[in-house]
Amino acid sequence: MPDSTHPAEFDAYAANYDEALQRGLDLTGETKDYFAEGRVSWLRQRLAKLGMKPTSCLDFGCGTGTAAPFLQAGLGIDSYIGYDPSTASVQRATQDVTWAGARFTDDEESLAPESVDLAFCNGVFHHIPPEHRAGAMDLVWRTLKPGGLFAFWENNRWNPIVHYIMSRVPFDHDAQMLFPFQARGLLKAARFDIVGTDSCFVFPAILAPLRALEPLLCKLPIGGQYLVLARKP
């Protein structure tokens, strides 16, 4: 998350972030790795349809860097930079992620302009106060190369189960989720072109046999999360 959020709050959870998150995810019957792999798998399919294979990635609001190995394995990127204003989270990520192509920073000034093909974020903007979201978007915009894509993942505010799950996660108590139309509006205001919106993670583990139907349901706003894929012209 950018400096306009509360990095000290996430500093406090850097050592036990996964445990705190799992308090909410227990309701789904899955771990964070299921969702992390699912997001990257879905994104990989969307990128393939666009004929795009990114080689560099900004993980915006990377936290403790848990998405890095999934992005590396799932997308085959060569270089990755994780940005988060939580110094403790960045320190933890630097210790835990041993991939030589990855680096982490809590300094937005170290993000070189037009340096990455792909930007990725997951559940970040609901922690950014609305008045600071445009500035966060601008930072992503500046870091992306022209023609680069921004994979904007957010929790689905339309889904009542998501509200309950987040109420069980200590650092999500004051989160302000975005509806998909709000996310698209934010991206458009930042001069991004919208490529498409998908809803994902419809069925919990107890209904896993039905997950084969999820690609058919992706245009209905019923999943636990959604992806807005946007392009910098």
- CATH number for position 47: 3.40.50.150
pLDDT (0 to 100) of residue 174: 79
Q: Are strands 79-83 and 56-60 parallel, antiparallel or unpaired?
A: parallel
Across the range 152-178, mean pLDDT stands at: 88
What pLDDT does residue 73 have?
A: 96
**Worst-scoring range by mean pLDDT, 25-34, 61-70, 103-112, 209-218?**
25-34
- Tens of pLDDT, residues 180-203: 999 999 999 999 999 999 999 999
Nearest Cα to Cα of residue 89 among 174, 6, 4: 6
Report if residue 110 sits inside a domain: yes
Position 1 in a domain: no
Q: Are 4 and 136 in contact (CB under 8 A)?
A: yes
pLDDT confidence of residue 5? 47
CA angle 160, 166, 168 (to 5 degrees): 115
**Residue 62 falls inside a structural domain:** yes
Domain membership of residue 81 as a residue range = 7-231
Q: Are strands 144-155 and 225-231 parallel, antiparallel or unpaired?
A: antiparallel
Q: Which residue has the tokens 């992806």?
A: 227
Distance CA(178)–CA(36), nearest Å, equals: 20
Number of domains in the chain: 1
Residue 110, classified by CB atoms within 10 Å of its CB into exposed (0-12), middle (13-18) or buried (19+), is exposed
In a domain, 139, yes or no: yes
**Inter-CA distances, 168 with 32, 86, 164, 173, 175, Å:** 15, 22, 7, 8, 12
In a domain, 2, yes or no: no
The answer to whether residue 18 scores a pLDDT higher than 70 is no
- Please give the model's pTM, rounded to 2 decimal places: 0.92
Dihedral of alpha carbons 139, 96, 67, 8, sign: negative
- For the segment 57-82, the average pLDDT, to the nearest whole number, is 96
Q: What is the pLDDT of residue 3?
A: 43
Residue 82, in any domain of the structure? yes
